[in-house]
Amino acid sequence: MKTLALMAALGLSLAVTAPAHAGDADAGESTFNKCKACHAISDGENVIVKGGKVGPNLYGIIGSVAGSVDGFRYGDDIVKMGANGLVWTEELLAEYVVDPKAFLQAKLDDKGAKSRMSYKLRKGGEDVAAYLASVTGS
């Protein structure tokens, strides 16, 4: 009986800590083509994806504080999220890209919050986040 209870407790803890749907980095690489119009992935001289400069460089974004890429001018609300302690995880980034404005409004509890990122990635956000984590070792 103790073994059964222990197995049930272990199963419950894994269910709580495991992501609901882990992303597919290979699929994310393809989906990132939609993102590269505005975003690059580059570690200095090592250019992983040549992209636009409208959005911040996404190298190392997973595990970084929101609104903190050096040299990029963010909107006030994403900077506020970082000041409040938001650190990008794959799950949070996948949630953000679906509707950046709604994400900020919900997290800041502010209906007036807005994002400078107007594009909404309705599908594949978890895959893009997994891809970003895979190319930067996050």
Q: What is the pLDDT of residue 4?
A: 38
Contacts of 27 (CB under 8 A, 6+ apart): 124, 127, 131
Q: What would the pLDDT profile of 93-114 be if each residue is shown by its tens digit? A: 999 999 999 999 999 999 999 9
Q: What is the pLDDT of residue 45?
A: 86
Domains of the chain (ranges, CATH numbers): 22-136 (1.10.760.10)
Q: What would the pLDDT profile of 3-41 be if each residue is shown by its tens digit? A: 434 334 434 434 444 444 589 999 999 999 999 999 999
Whether 95 and 125 have beta carbons less than 8 Å apart is answered as yes
Q: What is the pLDDT of residue 31?
A: 96
